[in-house]
């Protein structure tokens, strides 16, 4: 295989690789950028592996006039900034000791040792600056071509090095594996056997993986496998996978939304009761994400109609609630319901507090406004201010 992608020829990339070569260091592109480039996908981060140790990389960058940030010098990584783009440059490493969360590493000059400390065969591909691909495990190219996800070597060993790899196994399956090919049996069995290790991970790391998983075009098969292995229940006690494939089928051309899909894993709103913590706490969601998730979960169980949902929450959240309700019933939301939600989102309550003053005040004023608002919503937003005041 040969890598042929735009970022390979980008002046910013060429400048970094040229500087490393002229400084006497060997360097290769590695990991996701190679994998995605071979698949014709746009690469996110461009990671570089080198036989030069961090201090030497920093000296090379200084001589070349490239900005260098020691982002992870203790672990062998520095970031070079070229053309306003960051390039993580990491010294080839081998694991000396691991505790399931982080590893003690030693530098090495051998590409094979660096490759065998990585997680999956498709992530252990390297490319020279001319695009020639190197596959130290001898399995990565074939697995990528077959859209097959496998751990490097014994899955138990790879998971023991970092228990987050259990969640990465399902996430990468959703993004890169052939959905018709099934999930790797050895990886699934090891994930099930070692799921207790997930308790060692920080909630931030778990939450980040779950977001990435649920943002995949169709994460339903991977989430179903998580449930089968007992992993989903470890992450979100009480979560169910049954509604997710129905929801995804109803989403149509909508962009994937992790919060909408997360709400589908909790159709009975049981997660906080069974797990002792709300999903937002367990996954360390942001305030905005937690607020949206709560609104979706509450909307699923409320008696509010499409118009009221649109009026109170806006058209996007109302649409998502209708999709979730439809998934629960196995019937997609009717076009009229979606139209009503859009109409409600545009509606403006015609009565103001001042319209009832000075006759009413305090709790009586609030109760009267709430009653009038309910009547107005029930009328399909057709009653005007005069009708409501009368």
Per-residue pLDDT in tens (0 to 9) along the chain, 390 residues: 899 999 999 999 999 999 999 999 999 999 999 999 999 998 889 999 999 999 999 999 999 999 999 988 778 899 999 999 999 999 998 876 665 556 567 888 899 999 999 999 999 999 999 999 999 999 999 999 999 999 999 999 999 999 999 999 999 999 999 988 889 999 999 999 999 999 999 999 999 999 999 999 999 999 999 999 999 999 998 899 999 999 999 999 899 999 999 999 987 677 766 556 788 888 999 999 999 999 999 999 888 999 999 999 999 999 999 999 999 999 999 999 999 999 999 999 999 998 888 888 889 999 999 999 999 999 999 999 988 888
Q: Which two tokens stand for residue 46?
A: 């461009």
pLDDT tens digit sequence for 87-144:
999 999 887 666 555 656 788 889 999 999 999 999 999 999 999 999 999 999 999 9
The contacts of residue 213 (CB under 8 Å, 6+ apart) are: 167, 170, 171, 174, 219, 222, 223
- At the topology level, CATH places domain 1-146 in Beta Polymerase; domain 2 (3.30.460)
Regarding pTM above 0.75, the answer is yes
Angle at 79 between CA 75 and CA 82, to 5 degrees: 165
Residue 127 φ then ψ, to 5°: -140, 135
Whether the Cβ atoms of residue 34 and residue 127 lie closer than 8 Å to each other: yes
185-193 helix and 220-229 helix, angle to the nearest 10 degrees: 50
Q: Which H or E element spans position 319?
A: helix 315-329
Whole-number pLDDT of residue 101: 59
The contacts of residue 302 (CB under 8 Å, 6+ apart) are: none
CATH of domain 153-235: 1.10.3090.10
Whole-number pLDDT of residue 200: 94
| Bond before 88 cis per omega within 30 degrees | no
Q: Where are the domains of the chain?
A: 1-146, 153-235, 238-347, 353-389
Q: Which two tokens stand for residue 136?
A: 């130290």
């Amino acid at each position: 295989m040969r890598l042929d992608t735009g970022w390979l020829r980008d002046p910013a990339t060429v400048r970094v690789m040229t500087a490393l070569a002229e400084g006497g260091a060997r360097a290769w592109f590695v990991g996701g950028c190679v994998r995605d480039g071979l698949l014709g996908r746009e690469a996110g981060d461009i990671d570089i592996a080198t036989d030069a140790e961090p201090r030497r990389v920093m000296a090379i960058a200084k001589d070349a006039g490239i900005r260098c940030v020691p982002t992870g010098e203790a672990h062998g990584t520095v970031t070079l900034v070229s053309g306003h783009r960051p390039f993580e440059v990491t010294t080839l490493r081998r694991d000396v000791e691991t505790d399931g969360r982080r590893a003690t590493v030693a530098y090495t000059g051998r590409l094979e040792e660096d490759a065998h400390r990585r997680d999956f065969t498709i992530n252990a591909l390297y490319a020279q600056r001319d695009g020639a691909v190197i596959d130290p495990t001898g399995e990565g190219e074939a697995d990528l071509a077959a859209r097959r996800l496998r751990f490097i070597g014994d899955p138990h060993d790879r998971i023991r090095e970092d228990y987050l790899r259990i969640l990465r196994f399902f996430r990468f399956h959703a993004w890169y594996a052939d959905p018709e090919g099934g999930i790797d049996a050895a990886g699934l069995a090891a994930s099930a056997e070692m799921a207790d290790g997930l308790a060692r991970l920080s909630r931030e790391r778990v939450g980040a993986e779950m977001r990435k998983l649920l943002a995949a075009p169709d994460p339903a098969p991977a989430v179903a496998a998580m449930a089968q292995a007992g992993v989903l229940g470890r992450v979100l006690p009480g979560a169910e996978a049954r509604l997710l494939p129905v929801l995804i089928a109803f989403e149509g051309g909508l962009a994937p939304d992790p919060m909408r899909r997360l709400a589908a894993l909790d159709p009975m709103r049981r997660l906080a009761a069974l797990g002792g913590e709300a999903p937002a706490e367990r996954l360390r969601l942001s305030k905005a994400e937690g607020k949206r998730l709560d609104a979706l979960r509450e909307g699923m169980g409320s008696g509010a109609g499409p118009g009221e949902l649109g009026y109170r929450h806006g058209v996007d959240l109302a649409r998502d609630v209708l999709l979730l309700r439809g998934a629960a019933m196995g019937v997609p939301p009717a076009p009229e319901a979606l139209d009503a939600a859009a109409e409600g989102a545009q509606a403006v309550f015609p009565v103001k507090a001042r319209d009832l003053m000075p006759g009413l005040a305090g709790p009586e004023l609030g109760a009267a406004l709430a009653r009038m608002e309910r009547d107005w919503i029930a009328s399909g937003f057709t009653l005007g201010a005069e009708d409501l005041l009368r």
